[in-house]
Amino acid sequence: MAGLSLAGTVAGCAPSAADSAQGAPAKSAAETTAATPSAAASSLAGSGSTYKDGTYSADGSYVSPNGSETVGVELTLAGGTVTDVNITQHPSNPNTRKFQGEFAGGIAGQIVGKSIDELNVSKVAGSSLTSGGFNQAVEKIKQEAQ
Amino acid sequence: MPDGDWEDFAFEGIGTQWEISTPVPLNGPVRARLLERVERFDAEWSRFRSDSRVSALARRPGCYEFPEEAQRLGSLYRTLYGITDGAMTPLIGASLERLGYDAGYSLKPSGSPLAAPAWDEVLDWAGTTITTTAPVVLDIGAAGKGLLVDLLAEELVAVGLEAFVVDASGDLLARGPLPTEVALEHPYNPAQAIGIVPLAGQSLCASASNRRAWGDGLHHVLDGTTGQPVGTAVATWALADTTMLADALATALFFVPGDQLQEEFDFSWLTVFSDGSAAHSAAFEGTLFT
């Protein structure tokens, strides 16, 4: 029975066919995107290291369906905490600019964006297109602000 | 959460960030139990680790016994495979690898798009038993994260918790009497929201065509019949009784209109298109900023 248990419970399988094939454990690679922007911001604030006060900006890059884009992140640090975050999208790709323009234009009877900071919410449901780029920019700022 | 004053347990699992919020902090044994559950799931289903059962399946066809959750996962995938005419399939793994989304993260296409093999030609998924007739790369990415959210919720219920929120980087489950206010992230600006949904006793998941993008015109939602990425809709949300279902249907909305999916599944949906317009079912009425 020891051999069988290695292959899992073989209820539905002929014992010889199952192969548990234990290889060398590999590091589990990322299956989804990185952390949300807010998580990245709070980890900067709560990391315990000291950062110099000031306003820092850095660019991070991400890839949209329309090609490579950059996202600008500006953080204001005071007393080791983040007091302000500004995100500027400066899309180089004409399609992204077009889409952003259409969103910004507030199509009649259609959706518009509101700043999450101004909303009374505890969670965000989304896929964070730019979160990788945001985190990248925050990393640069962390080094810069040391 | 509901009162904004809950305790968070944050950790990393299956390559993403997790946050479990509860009215009182989770104790050490409960935390260990959750992490152990995540590890067990990863060890079975990850196509990124060479010691997983899914990797064994990719190396050698045969009959493999998977854990209990394989039952609901297989039956959901089979239904979605039918309703999307094969576009949504767990056999998409080899197509993703061809496009560069491989274990080594080469992020470089290694050939022209590869269509997934037909389900019935290579795969028999009966309950928890998976039998293959050819080496297949099983990818449960469209429902796996949601499934793990449900499995962690089951662990929390098993230790007697009644109110909690599980957040798997934007895929959410909320239990308890009070609703959690959830912002719907703007598809092109993560600092903005396009609406607010109160979540109570259900799960809300999002998908975006650009979520795991890595190259010009190549993104992670693939049509299994052609192996090519799909277009048009830019972001979707699905609200359902289980996170596995919400997760899978958020992806399915890229292939099948929401009203059609509603004939098969009990859920609510929202689809945002690249021109800034939106379509949604009744439950999302009044939740969007216009």
Compute the C-alpha angle A78/A80/A83, nearest 5°.
Answer: 45
Pairwise pLDDT comparison (B104 vs A6), residue with the higher score = B104
Q: CB B234: neighbour CB atoms within 10 A?
A: 23
pLDDT digits (tens, 9 = 90+) for A108-126: 235 677 777 777 777 888 8
Whole-number pLDDT of residue B165: 96
B276–A99 C-beta distance less than 8 A: yes
pLDDT averaged over chain B?
Answer: 85
Q: What amino acid is encoded at B3 in this protein?
A: D
Whole-number pLDDT of residue A67: 47
Report, as an integer, the average pLDDT of B132-157.
Answer: 93
CA dist B29 → A114, B35, B205, B262 (Å):
41, 10, 28, 40
Chain B residues inside the 8 Å CB shell of A136: none
Residues whose CB falls within 8 Å of the CB of residue A46, separated by 6 or more in sequence, listed in order: none
Identify whether the C-beta of residue B178 lies closer than 8 Å to the C-beta of residue B200: yes
Residues whose CB falls within 8 Å of the CB of residue B112, separated by 6 or more in sequence, listed in order: B98
**A residues 13-72 closer than 8 Å to B (CB):** 13-14, 17-37, 39, 62-65, 67-68
The phi, psi pair for B106, rounded to 5°, reads -65, -30
Chain A residues inside the 8 Å CB shell of B194: 111-114
* pLDDT of residue B5 exceeding 50: yes
Report, as an integer, the average pLDDT of B141-169.
Answer: 96
Chain B residues inside the 8 Å CB shell of A8: 53, 64-66
Q: pLDDT-based confidence at B22, cuts 50/70/90?
A: very high
B172–A123 C-beta distance less than 8 A: yes
Chain A residues inside the 8 Å CB shell of B186: 103, 113, 126
Q: pLDDT-based confidence at B117, cuts 50/70/90?
A: confident
Report, as an integer, the average pLDDT of B189-198.
Answer: 86
Q: CB A59: neighbour CB atoms within 10 A?
A: 14
Q: CB B45: neighbour CB atoms within 10 A?
A: 27
- The mean-pLDDT minimum among A46-50, A115-119, B254-258, B262-266 falls in A46-50
- The mean-pLDDT minimum among A55-59, B126-130, B211-215 falls in B211-215
Identify whether the C-beta of residue B194 lies closer than 8 Å to the C-beta of residue B206: no
Chain A residues inside the 8 Å CB shell of B199: 123
Burial grade of B127 (CB within 10 A; 0-12, 13-18, 19 or more): middle
B195–A111 C-beta distance less than 8 A: yes
Low-confidence residues in chain A, pLDDT < 70: 1-11, 14-50, 59-76, 79-111, 128-142
Question: Distance between CA atoms of B278 and B276, rounded to whole angstroms?
Answer: 7
* pLDDT of residue B18 exceeding 50: yes
Chain A residues inside the 8 Å CB shell of B275: 99, 102, 107
Whole-number pLDDT of residue B27: 97
Chain B residues inside the 8 Å CB shell of A33: 16, 169, 211-212
Closest CA to B190 of A145, A53, A114, A80: A114
Identify whether the C-beta of residue B92 lies closer than 8 Å to the C-beta of residue B71: no
* Per-residue DSSP letter, A6: H
B46–A131 C-beta distance less than 8 A: no
A100–B208 C-beta distance less than 8 A: no
- Top residue of B189, B214, B232, B237 to mutate, by most chain A CBs within 10 Å, is B189
Of A18, A87, A125, the CB nearest to B170: A125
* pLDDT of residue B290 exceeding 80: no
Q: What amino acid is encoded at B17 in this protein?
A: Q
Whole-number pLDDT of residue B265: 96
Whole-number pLDDT of residue A109: 37
pTM: 0.68
Whole-number pLDDT of residue A20: 42
- The mean-pLDDT minimum among A21-35, B74-88, B262-276 falls in A21-35
- The mean-pLDDT minimum among A121-135, B227-241, B274-288 falls in A121-135
pLDDT digits (tens, 9 = 90+) for B47-72: 888 899 998 988 888 999 999 999 99
Specify which residues A60 forms β-bridges with.
Answer: A71
Question: Distance between CA atoms of A124 and A24, rounded to whole angstroms?
Answer: 37
* Per-residue DSSP letter, A122: S
Domain boundaries, chain B: 57-132
Q: Token pair 């983040």 is at which residue?
A: A82
Of B193, B237, B274, the CB nearest to A116: B193
Q: Enter the tokens of residue A120.
A: 């009374």
| Topology of domain A34-115+128-146, CATH | Sufe protein. Chain: A (3.90.1010)
Question: Distance between CA atoms of B249 and B80, rounded to whole angstroms?
Answer: 9
- Top residue of B22, B52, B169 to mutate, by most chain A CBs within 10 Å, is B169
Q: pLDDT-based confidence at B213, cuts 50/70/90?
A: very low
3-state secondary structure chain B: CCCCCCEEEEEEECCEEEEEEECCCCCHHHHHHHHHHHHHHHHHHCCCCCCCHHHHHHHCCCEEECCCCHHHHHHHHHHHHHHCCCCCCHHHHHHHHHCCCCCCCCCCCCCCCCCCCCHHHHEEEECCEEEECCCCCCCCCCCHHHHHHHHHHHHHHHCCCCCEEEEECCEEEEECCCCEEEEEEECCEEEEEEEEEEECCCEEEEEECCCCCCECCECCCEECCCCEECCCEEEEEEEECCHHHHHHHHHHCCCCCHHHHHCCCCCEEEEEECCCCEEECHHHCCCECC
A99–B129 C-beta distance less than 8 A: no
Question: Distance between CA atoms of B4 and A120, rounded to whole angstroms?
Answer: 10
- Top residue of A31, A43, A117, A131 to mutate, by most chain B CBs within 10 Å, is A31
